[in-house]
Each structure stands twice: as structure tokens, then as C-alpha cells.
Amino acid sequence: MKEQNDENLIEEEENREYGLEEDPMQAFWKRQTQVFLSSYINIAIILCNVIIFVYGLFAGYDFQDRFDFDPVRFFQNREYYRLFTSMFLHASIEHLGSNMLILFFIGANAEHDLGHISYLFVYLFSGFIGDVISLADSIIRNDLTPSLGASGAIFGVIGAVLIIVIYGRKNLRPGSNLLGRLIAIIFLSVYSGFKEVNIDNAAHIGGLIGGIIITFFITNIFKKEYTMEEWL
């Protein structure tokens, strides 16, 4: 790894010497590739979701029925594990694909900034809070339909990114609208959740809030500094 870094530094120095500056977009994607490849926890989470989905296709409906978030069984049978297992289940290939695609891009950068262990904690905590808020919403509306999916945890990662950008915004390039775009994406995602059917928007909002809160505390307790270099 050290030899590779030394080679990169030598190459960059030679480019500067001969006036061959690297294209900004090329430099951006080079950094992003390094971020993606080093996001071990995010890659592991995505693989777990894919493997569990494929296994569920062969195991049949009983597998999903055993581990989804069913409020009735949660209370009657005290199956508290459902708060966590449900965030690794998906109803369809489209459901899985959309969630994992979003997680692949935003999760890698969040893990790069937060660190591996902190990122894992943010993901699981957000999914847990999302299911808790979903449960409360189900009781209030008297709708005890089972739910499943990683959306609550993913919204938590988006909430984490919001905190990261807020704390690191002073390091963004002049004129960057990253914070504004992120807020708009969050607003539109929550809004669309209210307009679509069969969307557990309570879990989304709960996960988002959970991700914001836990990342705020992680940032301040561990005095994290966010350079935003990988986001430029």
C-alpha cells in the first residue's frame, strides 16, 4: 500500500513538472474509486442484503414471514429480533436494487468520513429507530400490516451525510451547492413517500432522524473533522 502511494505521488509530481495537470473529473472519480473500494462495511451490508434476498427466493414466503417486521407477532410472541432482521429483507428485485444502488454511492462516502465502526453503528441504529417509529405509527393508525426493507437505515445514512456536509461545508469549493441539493433530495424523498402507496414513510422519517441524531453525537464526542475532499 505504501509503495502504491509513493508511486502515485511520483506520478503526480512528474505531471506537475511537465505541466500535465490531471483532469478534475478524472481526479474526482479516482478518489471515488478509492473510497468505494475501502468502504468494507458498506460493501458487506450490500452483500448481506443481496445474499439474503437470493436465499429468500429459494426458501419461500415462510422465510420472509419469519423475519419481517410484524407488529402483531412482535408483541404477542415477543419476537424483538424483528426490529433488526426486517431491515435486511426486500419485497422484490426492484426494491432491493433501488435501495442498494443508493446505499452504494452515499454509504461509501459516509463510511469514509465516519470510520468503519461508527458507520455500522449509524446504519443499525437508524434502521432500529426507523422500525420503532414505524411501530408507533402503526399503533396510532391501527394498521398492523407487516413491513420490511432497508429504507429506514438508508435514510439514516442520508441523515448522517447531512451532518457531515454541515460540519464540513467550510471546506467545500466556492459556489458549491451540495448542501442545498442534499436538503432538496431529502425533502423530495420524504414528500414522495407520502404520495406513494405501500411506502412506510414513518420508517423513513424515523431512520432519517435517528441518523441525524447519532451522527451529531459521534461528530462532537469524537471531534471529527470532515475535509469534504472526496465530495468535491
CA distance 211 to 130: 10
Catalytic residue among 134, 138, 147, 151: 151
Catalytic residue among 126, 134, 138, 204: 204
Q: Is 116 a catalytic residue?
A: no
SS3 199: coil
- φ, ψ at 69 (rounded to 5°): -95, 95
CA distance 189 to 141: 22
Q: Is 204 a catalytic residue?
A: yes
What does the radius of gyration of the chain's CA atoms come to, in whole angstroms?
A: 20
Report the residue count for the chain: 232
Q: Tell me the HSE value of 93 on the side-chain side, using a 13 A CA sphere.
A: 2
Ordered DSSP codes for 102-167: HHHHHHHHHHHHH-HHHHHHHHHHHHHHHHHHHHHHHHHHT----B--SHHHHHHHHHHHHHHHHH
Active site residues: 151, 204
